[in-house]
Structure 1
Amino acid sequence: MRQSVFESAELSVIKVAGERDDVVFVTFEPLNPSRTDDREGFGEAFFARRGFTAYHFLAHTNSWYQLDEMPEALARVRADIAPGTRVIGYGTSMGSYAAIRFSQALALDTVIAFSPQASVDPQLVRWETRWAPEGARLMWDRNAPRRETKIYALFDPLNLDRRHISRLRREVELESVHTYFSGHGSIGYVLECGLLESVILDVVGNRFNGAELEAKLWRQRASTPTYAKIRARKRTGLIRRFRYYCIERLLDRRLGVPAPTAVSAPSVTLLPERQSV
């Protein structure tokens, strides 16, 4: 059953209680042009089916959670979580940004961060021109991440996201997992490979292995629309084409994968419909 934990003109926080009381998730939406009032939280259906209690932050604008009411909303969520419970943050892009920036307020034990962004401050990331946040407020942009939090950062190092990772590393330790040729859509790419469910459950079970995941993703890349789209962009121009051909052959050797193989389409949906990444 859905329960409102916090409500304001710009933010809703929904709790969906589950049977498990050892682990809870706190999720943050990514930037999304379609924000209907009846939309699900990020990964809501999956966590509910698996019996995990989850708190879903639903912003009514694409303001990157630069909202005056965030401290109160975060405090209500933290107070509602029983002491001793393991708390895992989950998000992609803008959602990963929020999970990392608010990891201290929520006392997160772990964060699963797809394509995390370090900042939306043009003074700090002058090279970042992909986003146009609604509003100019940056009140939480410099929130220090919780140093005790284990952060798994899944991203494409051949994408501009690598610069966000470099900046985040100045503030906190990250365990990087490379999703080569996924572009900014790392979470969709992992889902297309049929591995998103296992990523989450392996983190919960303390058996997550980033190196093994990288090899699996590389082996299965040819089955995904994301790889096909991103790889096609790298084939323009002779020098560019040769460069990325060499990168792929190097990755074949490094990851011990002789050739990509196809996999069947995943049957479990971990993203809300029309979820933007």
Structure 2
Amino acid sequence: MARLEGRFTAVKRSIFLRQVPTPLDFHAGRTFSTQSARFGRWTRRQFTCRRRFCAGAARAPTLHPLEYFRVSPNREIALPPCFIAFSSREPVATSLENALAFKRQPHCGRSLRREGRAIPDWNVAQGLKLLSVVYRSRHLLVKVAHRASAACVVTFDSYADTNDLDRRAFGEAFFAQNRISAIHVVNGRNRWYHEPDWREAIDAVRKAASGYARLVTYGSSMGAYAALRFADHVGASTALALSPQYSRDPRKAPFEDRWPGQRRGKWLPELSGPLSAKVPVVLAYDPAMTSERLHAERIASEMVVERLALPHAGHAMAAHLSECGLLSDLVLEVIRGSADLTALGRRARTRRKQSQHYLIALSHAAHRAKRDEVALAIARRAAEIAPDRNLGWHSLGYLLSKLQKHGEALAAHHKAAELAPNVAAVQLRFAAAQQDSGDYDGALRTLRSLSDKPTTPEVRRKLATMAFHIRVLRGVGRVRAALRSR
């Protein structure tokens, strides 16, 4: 039995690396060799995609050889929840849509058809694994999935708490399930894509996207900045930007005080000019946040913008829309070119009370207005509507810490840390709550457990700073205890 299991594992791994036909191969008439299992016996067969090009038809985009990349089985790492780390004011990777929209969309088992010919079906897991990596450097990765769609979406990852380029990209599961061709740009560090090799990466995107009738760039926060900045470079038809930044350069956006660790980053002059007015933009943002509103106004001064303004949606617009059940509708309508933003706004307002992100933003607005009891009641409600997610407990703990209720704050942060053991911002706030309650040894254990996991340089610097500060406080406490005992 052990020998059979080992043989099955070896064969399974070989298939994982094997290229299978996609809808584009039916245009090119490629020949494939596949393996299949029936009654425990593996058979091998060849077949040729018979369809040829019609006269005058546009050629399909060129497929590139597949490259194996790891898909983490740990969903806490692959799909970190989308929220703002209020303590450090640095947002964690905004990929909640991969978890929420993926659950809501029923899987359609029907085979797609184009001009009377059936296209082979494939499942989402297969679509996620079989991606073609067309560019890789130390800090950037571009991977492509050609599927049966006339349109293609170029996604850009947002602020991430890991430098693992092989993580699941922004929107990857959603586009795989809806069988929409997608090109995913993944960042290894949080520099708003101001990387020395940005031209090579964008050239790879443009080549992979050639031949599609419609091209949409899409991103959230830092990814939305890239979706706007590179839309004209890749030849996009339109851009979908959720909570974007006009710039992170303090000379161009002096009002932006989030992400202080990136203010010292080098901004490339070739990516610091005006945004291109050639590409229309669908812009979703929270006008109740001053920084979000100012970014939107500056973007609208240089580009043709259709606005979806949702007050108190927060910075994590993708997560808010997903919780309202509207993210999929917005993305698909923008891809089709038929987005009715007025109707979407009305539906969002009627559904927003079921959104955890809306309640959290509302609680912080109440706290800023000195209505602490109201803020605390709303924050508790936000934690109760989704008790199995860390976001509500994380936000509740933050608010309790602000109100100097350290015992309750520690309990809330402990709950959040249990639900998200691999999310850096959650663990850092839990360690801070332990420090506030006087549990220095526990705070150091929390930081030590986080240091063994893949993190960004920013997180590592915070770990070192917090650990040094806690050790100093622990030493001072021991000296005081010794003096009192005399």
How high is the TM-score relative to the length of structure 1?
Answer: 0.82
- 1:152 alignment partner in structure 2: 282
Conserved 8 A contact 2:165-2:187: no
For 2:368 and 2:276, how far apart are their aligned partners in 1?
A: 44
Q: 1:175 aligns with which of 296, 302, 306?
A: 306
Task: For residue 17 of structure 1, report the CA deviation from its aligned partner.
Answer: 1.9
Q: Which has the higher contact order (CA 8 A, sep 6+)?
A: 1
Is structure 2 residue 294 aligned with structure 1 residue 166? Answer: no
**1:24 lines up with 2:152 in the alignment:** yes
Report sequence identity in percent.
28
**Which of 191, 195, 201 is the aligned partner of 1:67?**
195
Residue 123 of structure 1 aligns with which residue?
Answer: 251
Cα RMSD of the aligned pairs, angstroms, is 2.4
**What residue in structure 2 maps to residue 204 of structure 1?**
335
SS of 1:67's partner is coil
> Which residue of structure 2 lines up, in the alignment, with residue 111 of structure 1?
239
Amino acid at match of 2:281: I
Q: Does 1:142 align with 2:272?
A: yes
Return the offset for 1:60: 0.6
Query: Aligned match of 2:142 in 10, 13, 16?
Result: 13
Match of 1:193 among 290, 315, 324: 324
* The structure with more helix, counted as a fraction of residues: 2
1:135 deviation in Å?
5.8
TM-score normalised by structure 2 residue count: 0.48
Q: Which amino acid aligns with 1:179?
A: L
The question of 1:3 aligning with 2:3 is answered: no
Alignment-mate amino acid for residue 222 of structure 2: M
* Aligned 8 A contact 1:104 1:144 in 2: no
Tell me, yes or no, if the aligned pair for 1:4 and 1:13 is still in contact at 8 Å: yes
Cα displacement (A) at 1:240: 7.5
Residues 253-276 of structure 1: per-residue CA shift (max 9 Å, x gap)? xxxxxxxxxxxxxxxxxxxx97x9
Q: Distance in 1 between matches of 2:288 and 2:170?
A: 26
- Could you tell me how far 1:85 is from its partner in structure 2? 2.4
Letter in 2 for 1:233: H
Distance 2:366 2:215 in 1: 43
- Give the residue type in structure 2 aligned to 1:129: D
Mark the runs of 5 or more structure 2 residues left unpaired by the alignment.
1-129, 373-421, 426-486
The answer (yes or no) to whether the contact 1:5–1:15 under 8 Å persists in 2 is yes
Distance (whole Å) between structure 1 residues aligned to residue 256 and residue 354 of structure 2: 30
SS at match of 1:89: strand
Distance 2:207 2:151 in 1: 15
8 Å CA contact 1:111–1:150 kept in 2: the answer is yes
Name the amino acid aligned to 1:137.
K
1:219 aligned to 2:219?
A: no
1:157-190 superposed Cα distances (whole Å, 9 cap, x missing partner): 0012000011112211211101211121111100
- Aligned with 1:236: secondary structure? helix
Q: What is the CA distance between 1:37 and its match in structure 2?
A: 4.0
Deviation at 1:96, TM superposition (A): 0.4
Report the Cα offset of residue 143 of structure 1: 4.2
